[in-house]
Structure 1
Amino acid sequence: MTDRQEWWRGAVIYQVYPRSFFDSNNDGIGDIPGVTAKMNYIASLGVDAIWLSPFFTSPMKDFGYDVSNYCDVDPIFGSLADFDELIASAHHHGLKVMIDQVLNHSSDQHPWFVESRSSHDNDKADWYVWADANPDGTVPNNWLSVFGGPAWHWDSRRRQYYLHNFLDSQPDLNFHHPDVIDALLDTVEFWLKRGVDGFRLDTANYYYHDIELRNNPPKDEVVEGSIGVRLDNPYAYQLHIYDKSRPENIAFLKRLRSLLDQYPNTTTVGEVGCDFALETMAAYTQGKDKLHMCYSFDLLTHDSSMIHIRNTMETIEAGLGDGWPCWSIGNHDVERVATRWGKNHDSVAKCKIYMAMLLTLRGSVCLYQGEELGLHEAKLAFEQLVDPFGINFWPEFKGRDGCRTPIPWKSEPLGGFTQSSAPWLPIAESQRPMAVNEQEGNRHSVLHAYRDFLHIRRSYPELRHGDIQFIYNDETTLTFLRSYHGKQLYVAINTAGQDTILPVEHKLTALTLPEAIHSGYIDGDTAILPPFSILLASVIT
């Protein structure tokens, strides 16, 4: 297979959350024409592809992750013609387009569910996961929703419970039914025929459930701060072995891959969230007959230590085989990196060094819109929240709205995002100094650092495709080699606010980095790393 056909290996994928990107018609909501209008900006970053968060027809109870029509654009975002124009514009700029596919569940307003809930004997009666109540009327088992409470909702029409891993308005589809598989793959092919280059698969390990509906066991130990664990959410107290990550999922992923193989140069990246995410990533991407890539939540936690980074990388490398990882340190579901890892102290410098770290690790990369500006988490009052997850768990959990506020294009009251006086989420006043127009004129800005480093990554195949070999780490320092076709790059990263001095066993020639990036240097057989700096050097053999 040629490099051109495997464009996704080492690719950098820019995640666009359309509601918050750019509002082209001034109704307060970002839209597809707004993304097209900013295509020059996206291309200028030096990324390879765009991932569009859902824009399908939806009642928007979970802002598009509750789909009521998989094959159309919701009017608030535009039309199919607008989407076709976006595809054409992206391809003209040399960018691939990936779209979110939410296959695990639909909206309760989807015609499939409307029919399914109408009776026990209609054509789609078993397209969703229905179960009788226990003799005392209680829920069928102990499964819990990610959004809090039981994962079962009573339906008075069918007089049964239906399964929902997320909101009760997001019923889970029954992947054990072959007609469901066929119908979902038809919706995937609909978009392939329109020219999309790939799919980001939402909750890719949730598709199948245990057909016997066995109870999940409790966790032996619940440690706050570990992957996905918040003690205010009872979901963290179970070991989720029966409600997700089922072995039957492998067969579906193979069917999905078989479909994509009929459309050359297309790809998939699956979102994997579970207790054994790294092992699941390996299982889902090995063998070149399932997913092309997966990413987990392992780098979306509050642990930014280089100990954690190295442990995560080495764990997946040890079990990955011929599979391929994709990494992300920010997305639409987690607190922004500048706040989560930067702690708002030297956050500009920290945003740059964590970006450099991410772009030098082995694998493909997803960058969330606004990370290239160093945006911090917006602070919202309870009455400003729209995210049902945040509303349910306030005040211990502030929800996801703080990372979803509109992109500030200009340092003006409405941020250049819209002319509407009522954007769907408030424009964060504290982010206005970080607007695109402000950073364009500052050669030392986070924006310029991203552009510069993305150009460096494209220039060195070692960074896009090479193997990785870790050398040293402590809490704040990480060093490793990237090797490809006989060439090696030495990478040393310092995420601390003081100098770090490291012995170097290799003969090195340091690369000259652009001024927006804090660079280390070599002094004899020593690497000198100033605060928040990176050293890139060619290994002389």
Structure 2
Amino acid sequence: MNYKENLTESIYQVFTRNHSAEGTFSKVTKDIPRIAEMGFDYLYLLPFHPNSEKGRKGDLGSPYAISDYYAVDPAYGDLTDLQELVESAHNHGLKVMIDIVINHTGRDHRYTIENPEYYYHNEKGDFINRVEDWYDVYDLNYSNQALRQELIDMLTYWAKFGIDAYRCDVGSLVPVDFWVDAKAAVREVNPDHFWLAESCHGEFIFDLRSRGYEVASDAELYQAFDCLYNYDIHDTLLPTLRQELGLMELKKRYRYQEWSFPSNYLKLNCLENHDQPRIQGVLRDRIANRNWTAFSFFNKGLGFVYAGQEFFSTKQPSLFTKDLIEEMHQEDHQMDFIASLINMKKSGFIERHTRYEMILNEEECLVSRYETNEEYIYGIFNVKNINTKINIGLDDGLYNDVIIGEAFTVEKGYIDLASEPVIFRVKK
């Protein structure tokens, strides 16, 4: 797998506990044909290991407070059930990504008894963590070389099991040199293994660094990872979605990515995930939802959907108890629309592009453009559903939207903004 191919890919995120009433691997397996039919490349599973009981949050505990890296939560099934899920995904053309949570463990992980030296301690010798709100975990200390080898062994185990990709929780808090070594070891098992880091918000990095902790920036993480979260712009994206900010600052932040990261940088274009509010709950408008969703798939980087997003879910399910996504599988959905966006993403121009840019304009809409050797491909996203014309500098004539196949007119260089997103090609 290479950078150009990665640009065309998309991820579908599932929390097994809340994906069905049963909350099992088997029910996720039964849903794989639907997920695959939309065209996704990766099925991403939140942590499926047993949760620690000591200090747990809620009645079932956080999946990010893990008590055993090699086991699965018996409520989900067993390793055979997980193997069947992985095989079904592979048979349907999906790769499987799992959450790797090794900044910390749950407070009753066996390491706390057998290897207490693997953790941070205060002056009294008590276990500690660096983020006060994460009171159900203890942080691992990577100055211990034996710990590093234990975790590399665990990562190679799951790669041998058939897992194709890792999403690494708070990847910024684990030393970059460890990730480099782990990636090299795992790629001995699977050379195409894909690495996604949950990189951190800038203020979070600033706060921990000011307290003397080592925290990696996005630029540093690209030494080890293929793709990072878009949290570097999230502090602008979220208030923009809430219409607390105009679009100009967000446009500038997207353009800034183009020169602040390596030339082959990849970002995960997630509008929502298990830690963030539902996009439909923020926008309360389906036209705006469709425009932002289309932009997130057109924008350079990986596409992303959190289960329920395709059903316009407004509910952000709890991580700490059973909290079913009630909208799943209802007739009211945008699965066909998402499938068309994924098909657009795979149609070739993103992979062949020689230049991508967010076009800075004064209008409250988003305009982006790819350039290949043969053509320009424009995306116009009327995220605020404004009724106006914009000048995009094109010759007058008839152009065809590639999403729904309808024609529109450019007259005197201007285009009437449609309520729906528009993507079209212009020959050079």
Moved more, 488-497 or 84-93: 488-497
CA deviations over 1:435-481 (Å, ceiling 9, x no partner)? 53413xxxxx5232212222222224327866312323346212121
Whether 2:128 is the aligned partner of 1:172: answer no
Q: Within 2, Cα distance between the matches of 1:520 and 1:70?
A: 54
Whether 2:351 is the aligned partner of 1:358: answer no
Whether 2:265 is the aligned partner of 1:312: answer no
- Determine helix, strand or coil for the equivalent of 1:375: coil
Counterpart for residue 213 of structure 2: none
Structure 2 residue aligned with 1:501, among 378, 382, 389? 389
Cα 1:95–1:6 change in 2 (3 A) is farther
CA deviations over 1:310-335 (Å, ceiling 9, x no partner)? 12212221111233222211000111
Calculate the aligned-residue CA RMSD, in Å: 2.8
Q: Within 2, Cα distance between the matches of 1:518 and 1:283?
A: 44
CA drift at 1:265:
1.2
Structure 2 residue aligned with 1:255, among 175, 181, 186? 181
Q: Within 1, Cα distance between the matches of 2:76 and 2:260?
A: 41
CA drift at 1:485:
4.4
Structure 2 residue aligned with 1:130, among 99, 102, 121? 121
- Amino acid in structure 1 at the alignment position of 2:90: H
TM-score after normalising by structure 2: 0.85
Whether 2:427 is the aligned partner of 1:534: answer no
CA deviations over 1:157-198 (Å, ceiling 9, x no partner)? xx5352352432200011111111111111111100011111
Q: Within 1, Cα distance between the matches of 2:408 and 2:43?
A: 32
- Amino acid in structure 1 at the alignment position of 2:18: S
Whether 2:10 is the aligned partner of 1:19: answer no
Cα 1:504–1:160 change in 2 (3 A) is closer
Instruction: Tell me if structure 1 keeps the 8 A contact 2:8–2:345.
Output: no
Instruction: Tell me if structure 2 keeps the 8 A contact 1:362–1:467.
Output: no
Instruction: Tell me if structure 1 keeps the 8 A contact 2:281–2:315.
Output: yes
- Determine helix, strand or coil for the equivalent of 1:302: helix
- Amino acid in structure 1 at the alignment position of 2:228: C
Counterpart for residue 6 of structure 2: 8
- Amino acid in structure 1 at the alignment position of 2:192: N
Counterpart for residue 39 of structure 1: 32
Q: Within 1, Cα distance between the matches of 2:322 and 2:141?
A: 33
| Structure 2 counterparts to residues 44-443 of structure 1, below 5 A | 44-59=37-52, 61=56, 62-115=61-114, 124-133=115-124, 160-165=126-131, 166-207=133-174, 249-262=175-188, 263-275=190-202, 280-285=217-222, 289-297=223-231, 298-299=233-234, 301-304=238-241, 305-321=246-262, 322-340=264-282, 342=283, 344=284, 347-377=285-315, 401=318, 424-425=322-323, 428=326, 431=327, 436-439=329-332
Q: Within 1, Cα distance between the matches of 2:289 and 2:45?
A: 23
Structure with the higher fraction of residues in helix conformation: 2
Q: Within 1, Cα distance between the matches of 2:398 and 2:163?
A: 42
Over alpha carbons, which structure has the higher Rg? 1
CA drift at 1:497:
2.7
Structure 2: where are the runs of 5+ without partners? 207-215
Instruction: Tell me if structure 1 keeps the 8 A contact 2:120–2:141.
Output: yes
Instruction: Tell me if structure 2 keeps the 8 A contact 1:458–1:464.
Output: no
- Amino acid in structure 1 at the alignment position of 2:187: D
Q: Within 2, Cα distance between the matches of 1:98 and 1:326?
A: 14
- Amino acid in structure 1 at the alignment position of 2:257: I
TM-score after normalising by structure 1: 0.68
- Amino acid in structure 2 at the alignment position of 1:51: Y
Cα 1:109–1:74 change in 2 (3 A) is same
Q: Within 2, Cα distance between the matches of 1:320 and 1:185?
A: 27
- Amino acid in structure 2 at the alignment position of 1:167: W
Q: Within 2, Cα distance between the matches of 1:528 and 1:105?
A: 52
Q: Within 1, Cα distance between the matches of 2:412 and 2:225?
A: 46
Q: Within 2, Cα distance between the matches of 1:370 and 1:460?
A: 28
Aligned identity (percent) is: 21
CA drift at 1:484:
3.4
Q: Within 2, Cα distance between the matches of 1:270 and 1:301?
A: 20
Structure 1: where are the runs of 5+ without partners? 116-123, 134-158, 208-248, 379-399, 406-422, 440-444
Q: Within 1, Cα distance between the matches of 2:65 and 2:426?
A: 50
Q: Within 1, Cα distance between the matches of 2:423 and 2:239?
A: 26
Q: Within 1, Cα distance between the matches of 2:344 and 2:33?
A: 20
Cα 1:464–1:293 change in 2 (3 A) is farther
Q: Within 2, Cα distance between the matches of 1:514 and 1:325?
A: 23
Aligned length: 401
Cα 1:254–1:465 change in 2 (3 A) is farther
Q: Within 2, Cα distance between the matches of 1:521 and 1:187?
A: 57
CA deviations over 1:239-268 (Å, ceiling 9, x no partner)? xxxxxxxxxx22122112212332211111
Cα 1:470–1:190 change in 2 (3 A) is same
CA drift at 1:283:
2.4
Counterpart for residue 238 of structure 1: none
Q: Within 2, Cα distance between the matches of 1:290 and 1:104?
A: 16
Counterpart for residue 209 of structure 2: none
